[in-house]
Structure 1
Amino acid sequence: MSPSPPVPDAGDTSTSRGRGIRFAGVSKAFIAGNGARTSAVREVDLEIAEQQFVALIGPSGCGKSTLLRLADGLLEPDTGRIAIGDAPPRPGPAIGMVFQNFRLIPWRSVRDNVGFALEGRGLDGTELKQRVQAQLEQVGLAGWDDHYPAQLSGGMRQRVALARALIGRPGVLLMDEPFASLDAQTRELMQDDLLALWERQRPTVLFVTHSVDEALLLADRVIVMGGGAVLEDLPIHLPRPRRSTDARRAAEYSQLREHLWSRIRDLVLADPASAFFGRHVQADGEGG
């Protein structure tokens, strides 16, 4: 993806360059159909600095996606407080969101899907078109304006979703396993593209993933979650700007990967809901 100038802000004061995120004593539970109460997030204290890239990792059901939805204002915490900058979170242009399943509008063109994020913002047609075109160039989709989602590959659809999330210059970008459905090669290329886009615009990013390698490549910090709680906050000091091939050559990368994978593996093996639960116990028994 070739470098291109930043997308103009169009004077939108509702967005900013990297807002901090703060969770203070945040808990959230859900009530199942049978009336059982399930604790999804438990007393989370977490502060993310402006323009920082933070990855959340942990076993399925550990509270990662719930924490993301709390940060977006889509859910209210049962206890505790959340702040984006100095204000409680609320869905809107200051927060961009990218999901695993793209969530594109099938009857809209690429241009109109990306421009959808700016509708109601008071831009005239010419300015809107210019901003959409500039953002499409940044994600490598120049010339695809008039195509529809069904005509695009999975990687291209996710580029459209990313362009839509970034076009409003959000201070915060929340990403819920955005590359999980892509093939390995496309996923790695998208990771490099995301890093390049983040270097240009510098939003604060909270990124949910199940991949240890993805977390290490992208993040300044990796937050390990288990049972709805933050178990570890691991700083990543790999130099920036990063590319996947360079990062993996670093000696520190291998050490961090071994540490994180060991931590995640132990959490999965200790989870009664996991298909792998108890295997370590069996192995110990066989060794005796």
Structure 2
Amino acid sequence: MNEMTEETEQKAEQFQLHRNHLKAVAYRLLGSAEEAEDAVQEAWFRLQRVELTGIENVKGWLTTVVSRIGLDMLRSRRAGLEVSEEEMFDEMSSDRYMEPEREVLLADAVEEALAIVLQQLKPAERLAFVLHDVFAVPFTEIASIIGKSESAARQLASRARRKVHGKKGQTVAHRTERDTLEAFLTAAYAGDFSTLLSLLDPEVVLRDDRGGEVKVVKGAERLAKEVAGKAQPAQFILVDGKLGLMAARNKTLLYILSFKLKEGIITEVELISDKRRMEKLKLSLLGG
């Protein structure tokens, strides 16, 4: 009985020692704090069923177990809960993003963008990318987790990396467009009508698919009135290789804004919120 108690205590001590690491791995894999906690808890249950003396590297063993659990969860996961139309319009209300909360949200937007892009990866790609590129797990260990060769694991990570980062580097066009779009987003958030007008072509067109039908707004003044004071923190992202903006909440993509510009002036804006349309878009992080 004493030996059993001592073994259990040793397991608990080892598990607690690595718990934060395991939660970080699970969260990166799953993008959900609740699911990450479930995966870590399941790893604890599995640790209780094995002999501690038979484990050479406890941290490595637990990382492998959590990764396999996460991979199974990714493969069986149902489609994420849809955001209701009412919640989406609520999210765009500027009075919900007053300072200093907005600064926190802007910082979180980077994490949101990565989480959204990772959702596009196949389960094995996501696991290989997260374990190797984020947690520096060797490909030999990743290969054993996914049941493939080391070469295949490398290829999965490389493929995922290309999808996450897109083409390396920013083109001059992207930098120029980013300056314009940053000014547009700032002015929209602040309700700066005159600055918005200076950034919009007089004949600019906005197409907005919220509500199930495409709403078309033509003209700089109408579009400026439509967006002034209604912007929320958004993150730059490449949409099919072109610069755009995304808004997300709790790792759920709310909508994508794509733009057409001519000589630093916005000529077309498209707001895409339809889930089926967004799923067809190839999203990647800006900057490689």
Query: If the length of structure 2 is used for normalisation, what is the TM-score?
Result: 0.23
Bigger proportion of residues as helix: 2
Structure with bigger strand share is 1
